[in-house]
Amino acid sequence: MNRLILAAVIAVLPLAGVASPTIAQTPPTSAPTGVTKPAEVWAEMRDGVRLAANVYLPAGSGPWPVVVTRTPYLKDGPFYADPRSAAGVDGPQLYNDHGYVFIVQDVRGRGHSQGHYSPFSDDIADGYDTIEWAAAQSWSNGKIGITGASAMGITANLAAIGAPPHLLAAFTVVSPLDRSESSTYTGGVLRQADMERWLGFVGLDAGGTLASPGFRPTSDVFSDRSEMSQGLKYVRIPMYHVGGWYDAFDEGTLEKFVWLQNRGAEGARGQQKLLMTPSGHGPLAGDLAYPGADRTEVAGQQELRWFDHWLKGADNGVMDEPPVSYFMMASARRGAASDKNRFVPSGDWPPAAHEVRYYPSPDGGLSLDAPTVRQSKISYRFDPAAPVATVGGSTIWSDFGIGPMDQRKIPIRADYLRFKTEPLARDVSIAGPISVDLYAATDGADTDFMAKLVDVYPDGYEALVLDAPIRAQYRQGRDPALLKMMTPGVPERMRIDLWDTALTFEKGHRIELVITSSNSPRFAVNPNTGDPTAKPRVAVNTIYLDRDHPTALVLPLVYLEGASR
């Protein structure tokens, strides 16, 4: 079973200067040591709701430092059945063996905990109260850390925003920043398969939840107050951020690190770490593999070092190392990975880069030569009843494959435009944000445009690198005042944010840009009407490729040994 089944909705009210909770002094009177029989204990929150937790105590006598994780996936469920690991991060046994108390708590309204479950809406205050409760127990020395992957990473992030006094460090894995872009909507388009399935997985009605305030695609007071980006200024601790280039929350991991490392409050600024691996939210599908770069294994080597330094004061050199370690991907066919695949240290993210633009042409080419013709365009019919199928990508669920699957599985079709370079004469290495500067029109009020970045191998394998959409009415932003329907037939400039990656397109490979208008069921299909209640219609969409409308793939070129323009 995939231990990184994810959570993706943040619905929280950032709190500054939160009041001290009422501490329920309920330590286990005869808690067993080791991991074979954890004690269930209860922590009372400030509103009187009691949350249940399993407490794993080390052998011997305390008090000890404590590591907490808070989960909607049930503390007594399958994620925590193996005491050696817990949902993608180190588990009770390893922490106990190294002299830590380990606590796994059911979040409000889940498992044995009281209260009503509303995804992530209570986790700032509840995280604060839980940390301060743990610090007051007889087996605790008052030095608390928090850890978690995916949903548990979100609850860890939210506890850090609450800034409980006894929380000294956090270690989070594959967790998003904001609901609007990182998990629920990308480019204004609902991440339909991920969100609807996850809401059902935690027992919620997807339709009703997504229609409620704070879950709609537009930005408003309900969504803004519940976005993590609005609360980062309250974080005052060192945090270790772990992500993957094919992870559904790739961008959130990077943005949290960059903001806290460079703009964070005292205690956070300059004290962050970032590890980016060639991984997805779950196991990668397709024919690529990156030996020696398994996220769980690599991150596991750092997790205890991190807490040993910040909770025990160990002089283990973790803060003497570069703050960023990112994996530079390269050719990686299973069993034949290039030696150009490696981890690269960096002082920050993104590394210094030179922006280059690759321009698509009507004949299917992609080159560094900007168009000079006065008029050039390609039109296609987009029928929402016959969308392009999802094949891989940064999705949560493995049903359609995760990561760099072969895009040749998508047949030749008029609404799926492939543009390729000639085989590269030299390596091209990129690291940083990727985007498409798109000039496009439609014959109606609204439609979607989708872009893909693909690494085409010499044998034709089309390895998906990144993909993302833009809903035309949100091309200027998600604020209601910025929403604007399209004028039929009039080209508009819009930016498709493909998020970040680090990859060397090796000599002999081709760089491919794909433009289409659907990717189903990963993203909700646009009915092309601008009115969700209207009957879907076939749209005629047009991509412009001329000197006044130079659609371009924008890449951050980095200069590493063996790679050049």
**Looking at the domain assignment, is residue 27 inside a domain?**
no
The CATH code of the domain that includes 141 is 3.40.50.1820
| Range of weakest confidence among 197-206, 312-321, 433-442 | 197-206
Q: What secondary structure letter does DSSP report for 288?
A: B
Q: What is the mean pLDDT of residues 258-280?
A: 97
Q: Are residues 219 and 253 in the same domain?
A: yes
**Looking at the domain assignment, is residue 21 inside a domain?**
no
Q: Which domain holds residue 387?
A: 354-557
Q: Within its chain, how far is the Cα of 201 from the centroid?
A: 19
Q: Are residues 361 and 336 in the same domain?
A: no
Q: Are residues 436 and 548 in the same domain?
A: yes
**Looking at the domain assignment, is residue 562 inside a domain?**
no
The last residue of one of the domains, among 346, 362, 379, is 346
pLDDT given at position 274: 98
| Range of weakest confidence among 64-78, 104-118, 216-230, 523-537 | 216-230
Q: Are residues 183 and 306 in the same domain?
A: yes
Token pair belonging to 84:
């050696």
| Range of weakest confidence among 84-88, 124-128, 510-514 | 84-88
Q: What is the mean pLDDT of residues 148-175?
A: 95
The last residue of one of the domains, among 306, 329, 346, is 346
**Looking at the domain assignment, is residue 270 inside a domain?**
yes
**Number of domains present in the structure of the chain:** 2
Q: Are residues 285 and 362 in the same domain?
A: no
CA distances from residue 277 to 280, 285, 352, 502 in whole angstroms, order as listed? 9, 15, 19, 10
Q: Are residues 334 and 374 in the same domain?
A: no
Q: Are residues 73 and 179 in the same domain?
A: yes
Q: What is the mean pLDDT of residues 387-415?
A: 94
Q: What is the mean pLDDT of residues 349-357?
A: 97
The letter for the amino acid at 364 is G
Residues contacting residue 45 through CB under 8 Å, at least 6 positions apart: 21, 22, 51, 108, 115, 125, 126, 129, 130
**Looking at the domain assignment, is residue 237 inside a domain?**
yes
Q: Is the pLDDT of residue 502 over 90?
A: yes
pLDDT band at 27 (very low <50, low <70, confident <90, very high): very low
Q: pLDDT by residue (tens digit) across 332-348?
A: 999 999 999 999 999 99
Token pair belonging to 289:
């593999």
pLDDT given at position 565: 39
Residues contacting residue 123 through CB under 8 Å, at least 6 positions apart: 12, 70, 107, 108, 154, 155, 158, 159
Q: Is the pLDDT of residue 25 over 70?
A: no
pLDDT given at position 26: 38
Q: What is the mean pLDDT of residues 81-92?
A: 64
| Range of weakest confidence among 23-32, 438-447, 464-473 | 23-32
The letter for the amino acid at 520 is S
Q: Are residues 440 and 367 in the same domain?
A: yes
**Looking at the domain assignment, is residue 14 inside a domain?**
no
Query: Residue 53 and residue 447: Cα distance in Å, rounded?
Result: 47
The last residue of one of the domains, among 323, 346, 369, is 346
pLDDT given at position 220: 72
Token pair belonging to 485:
């329907």
Q: What is the mean pLDDT of residues 70-95?
A: 78
Q: Which residue has the higher pLDDT, 210 or 442?
A: 442
Q: Are residues 71 and 142 in the same domain?
A: yes
Q: Are residues 174 and 223 in the same domain?
A: yes
CA distances from residue 136 to 131, 216, 357, 396 in whole angstroms, order as listed? 9, 40, 57, 37
pLDDT given at position 91: 74
The CATH code of the domain that includes 501 is 2.60.120.260
Query: Residue 491 and residue 87: Cα distance in Å, rounded?
Result: 47
Mean pLDDT of the chain: 90
Q: Are residues 342 and 433 in the same domain?
A: no
pLDDT given at position 36: 47
Of all residues in the chain, what percent carry a pLDDT higher than 90? 76
The string of DSSP letters for 48-102 reads S-EEEEEEEBPSS---EEEEEEEESS-TTSGGGSSTTEETTEE-HHHHHHTT-EE
Q: pLDDT by residue (tens digit) across 190-248?
A: 999 999 999 998 999 888 888 877 677 887 777 666 678 889 999 999 999 999 999 99
pLDDT given at position 530: 93
pLDDT given at position 96: 94
Q: Is the pLDDT of residue 312 over 80?
A: yes
pLDDT given at position 84: 66
Pairing of strands 324-328, 539-546: unpaired
Q: What is the mean pLDDT of residues 128-155?
A: 96
Q: What is the mean pLDDT of residues 493-521?
A: 98
Q: Which residue has the higher pLDDT, 207 or 561?
A: 207
Q: Is the pLDDT of residue 24 over 90?
A: no
Q: Which helix (H) or strand (E) holds 531?
A: none
**Looking at the domain assignment, is residue 20 inside a domain?**
no
Q: What is the mean pLDDT of residues 496-515?
A: 98
pLDDT given at position 315: 96
Q: What is the mean pLDDT of residues 2-14?
A: 33
pLDDT given at position 35: 47
pLDDT given at position 438: 98
**Looking at the domain assignment, is residue 543 inside a domain?**
yes
Strand-pairing partners, residue 353, are: none
Q: Are residues 77 and 54 in the same domain?
A: yes
| Range of weakest confidence among 13-22, 149-158, 234-243, 434-443 | 13-22
